Structure 1
Amino acid sequence: MTAQTTEQRFQAFKNSVQQQDFDSIQFLVARAEQLESQDPELAKRILVRVTNLKNLQVQKKQQGEANKSAGLKTESRPAKSPENKAAADEDELPTGTSPFATYISPAIELISKHAFISWVVIPTLLFAFYQVFLATERYESQAQVIVQQPDGMATMDASMAVLTGLGVSNTGVSDTELVKAYILSNDMLNYLDETLNLRAHYSLSQVDFFSRLSEDAKQEEFLEYYQSRLKVYIDSNSSIVHVYSQAFEPEFAHKLTQTIVDRAEWYINSIGHQLAEAQLDFIKSEHKNIEQQLEQAQTALLTFQQRYNLLDPTAEGMAMQQITYGIEGQISAKEAELKGLQGIMTLNAPQVIALKNELKALKEQLGKERAKLSDESNQSIPVSEILAKYTDLKVKMELALQAYTSSQVSLEKSRIEAYRQLKYLIVVESATKPQESKYPDIYYNLALFAALVAMFFAIAKIIISTIRELK
């Protein structure tokens, strides 16, 4: 017989009995036993009806207990009409359902009845087993460091310190944050991996699967794992940097923390020296350029003085002008005197000849004095032009000298400023060597896990109860 004819016979059986007998488990079991030899398929279908009735009774019982525990009054649902009941039968178990459902339903019923044990107690016990017997112990080593600057007030007098800005320390959050950022950086990770082979330690095969680093982990995953095993925080009151590093061996944890501190100290010191050297190199190069300009101005002035054989053209020019003016005055007087003698004496008179000789000597001397203002090509240069060139060269030299003096002061101040910018990482507490493991914290982890699982279970229970109430 096909499944369709079996269902037709079941519907005929349903119509031949009363509703109360059709809802009675004892009546249906007895009738199934009677029909087992004559029509086994119909007997199995009647037993499916018996299983559905049992499940319905269990669900009503559980719902009543839930309502009773919540302080709610249960309300009896109205009996279904024969039409609705038949439809319910069709919904609860479709035509052709295997008798295997008879054994699956009790299991589902058991799981639903013990949901708290299944979803809270058992996962918590499994997690506890992992924490106690499987989780690998981790050791933690700690160290404390602080960034400090030298006291510039102790190396110079107070007035100089105020002028240069020393005595006002700018070591603060920026320096400690710089230390923290470098410790957690990829550069530090690469250095630790090269120095201590950190990746191999975190990927040890004897470490449990959930605690170790994958052997084929990418650099980003390696960095994330490293940061999860390292804790760095800054004390806002004292600006002390606290470093905590974890490893699977106490000796390695100690070595890891000590290497981190040493590398951070090198980093801070190198930054301070690099900044100081860069600043000093710039100031020295500028000072050297100014010094060369001063030398060029001095050389040009000396060359000009040597060319015209003048120590101070301004003073010597005025002296030569006075001498020239004096000789010209004497020549004028002698020429007037000669004209007077020529009027009363002959040209061959001894007094006239003597006066002519004297006048000639004065003119020759005037020519010599004027020749002193001539250049190498014997071209006459006006005194005003010589003075203008000399004044220009002298102004350039004075400006170069002032710039050199200012540059020298700036160089000395830069030396002091560079000394001021030097910073040192001082170790407050050296890396400790742990004696016992700190992680995993079994009691804390179990309490947290149990609380979270129970909370999620309660939320799910509330959601499911709400959905049932809204049906």
Structure 2
Amino acid sequence: MKELLYHWLKKPFVIFVVVPFLIYSIYQVLFATERYESQTQLLVQQPSSGGSLDPAVLLISGFSGGVTQNDTELVRAFIHSNDMLQYIKSTVDFDSHYSDSSIDLFSRLPSSATYEETLDFYIDHVDIDIDEKSSVIAVKVQGFTPEFAQQMTQVIRDRAEWFINKIGYDLAEAKLDFIKKEHSAIESKLEQAKVELLSFQRQYNLIDPLAESAALQQITSGLDGQIALKEAELATLLTSMSEYAAPVVQVKQTLVGLNQQLENERQRMIVGTATESDLATSPNGVNEILSKFSGYKVNVELALQAYTASLVSMEQSRIEAYRQLKYLVMVESPTLPEETKYPRVTYNLLLFLVLNCMLFGIVRIIVETVRELK
């Protein structure tokens, strides 16, 4: 019997398949530490895409909230990032939990693990599934106690929500800052145009040269009319009186005064109200003043139109930035597991046996082929 057993144990299949399977079975059944799995489901949403709908309705209807694959992949990348791991370490006792000596050697995190090993261990214990149709993100966290698994899932959910909000607000703030800078530049141009117009008005003591020009023209027209009447009156008087008669002299004096007044008003239209220094260097007439005033006024009107358009654009940009904000909707809150999920003993043993048999078969084929070639 012993010889038969010894002969049987010497067979390659027993040595390379049966014995390793028995050892692995003993480890899985007796020594492997059980792990619990907590789960939460998240959905990236936008205010403009049915944000008022109930998350359960969104999930059932397969509505993705206008979210692209990049959004969900961004959440996955952040959850599996070193930043998330460092935040978890600062929030919960990550190392103590996963490096506890009561955990079997192959399941726990070595106390001397490097940064890369710790990150790989963390990624192995945080699984993320994304539904392509509804874009729902399922986050599954493994822990050696139900409470810790749930706590860590909650921490991941809260931090992921903070991350999505931060990205949205940062992008919106950057866009609004750019619009505000452009608006400030336009506002400065408007103020500069107003200052130039006011300075011009103060220089020539004019509120509105156009109105004053019209007033001067009205005055000269009135004087022309009065002069014509007086000349007609003078001609009538001369037909019956001497030119030295008192009424004739009085009318002549009135005509002299009116002509002098008309000349003064015409002179004002030629030289305007410029200062003496201006007149010494350049004859700034009313036409030139009107031309300059029109230029300054057009600048103010254009700057005002640009300012109004900028206000509208800034408000539209603010609304658009709000619509583009994204946030996480919690479809399912972190669960508190009651049963262990890992290790999946039956699945692991069958997988180990199948792979080991396949490997053994491949090696046997190679060995037999080499023997035949010899």
TM-score bracket for this pair, using the shorter chain length:
0.7 to 0.9
Distance 1:152 1:215, change over 3 A: closer
Paired letter, 2:326: K
Contact 2:37–2:141, Cα closer than 8 Å, also in 1 = yes
Paired letter, 1:324: T
Q: CA offsets, 1:134-158, max 9 Å, x none?
A: 2221111111111112247999xxx
User: Does 2:176 match 1:287?
Assistant: no
Contact 1:193–1:199, Cα closer than 8 Å, also in 2 = yes
Name 2:58's counterpart in structure 1: none
What CA distance in whole angstroms lies between the structure 2 residues aligned with 1:300 and 1:394? 9
Paired letter, 1:414: S
How far 1:228 moved relative to its partner?
A: 0.9
Name 2:352's counterpart in structure 1: 449
Name 1:114's counterpart in structure 2: 11
User: Does 2:166 match 1:270?
Assistant: yes
TM-score, length basis structure 1 = 0.66
1:219 aligned to which of 107, 115, 121? 115
Q: Which runs of 5+ in 1 are unaligned?
A: 1-105, 156-167
Name 2:61's counterpart in structure 1: none
User: Does 2:304 match 1:304?
Assistant: no
1:228 aligned to which of 102, 105, 124? 124
How far 1:234 moved relative to its partner?
A: 0.5
User: Does 2:156 match 1:260?
Assistant: yes
1:426 aligned to which of 326, 329, 335? 329
Name 1:439's counterpart in structure 2: 342
Distance 1:154 1:183, change over 3 A: closer
User: Does 2:145 match 1:249?
Assistant: yes
How far 1:357 moved relative to its partner?
A: 3.1
What CA distance in whole angstroms lies between the structure 2 residues aligned with 1:289 and 1:423? 30
Distance 1:469 1:302, change over 3 A: closer
**Alignment identity in percent?**
51
What CA distance in whole angstroms lies between the structure 1 residues aligned with 2:65 and 2:161? 19
What CA distance in whole angstroms lies between the structure 2 residues aligned with 1:449 and 1:287? 67
TM-score, length basis structure 2 = 0.81
How far 1:335 moved relative to its partner?
A: 9.4
5 Å-filtered alignment, 1:62-211, equals: 110=7, 113-151=10-48, 170-211=66-107
Distance 1:266 1:121, change over 3 A: same
Q: CA offsets, 1:200-223, max 9 Å, x none?
A: 322222222221222222212211
5 Å-filtered alignment, 1:342-357, equals: 350=246, 354=250, 357=253
- Where relative contact order (Cα < 8 A, 6+ residues apart) is larger, the structure is 2
Question: Which of the pair has more CA radius of gyration?
Answer: 1
| Equivalent position SS for 2:113 | coil
Q: RMSD value over aligned CA atoms?
A: 3.3
1:392 aligned to which of 295, 306, 310? 295
Q: CA offsets, 1:26-63, max 9 Å, x none?
A: xxxxxxxxxxxxxxxxxxxxxxxxxxxxxxxxxxxxxx
Q: Which runs of 5+ in 2 are unaligned?
A: 53-63
Paired letter, 1:130: Y
Q: How many residues align?
A: 348
User: Does 2:264 match 1:365?
Assistant: no
Paired letter, 2:111: E
Paired letter, 1:135: A
How far 1:262 moved relative to its partner?
A: 0.9
| Equivalent position SS for 2:276 | coil
Q: Tell me which stretches of 4 or more aligned residues in structure 1 moved more than 6 Å.
A: 152-155, 328-338
Paired letter, 2:335: T
Contact 2:37–2:143, Cα closer than 8 Å, also in 1 = yes
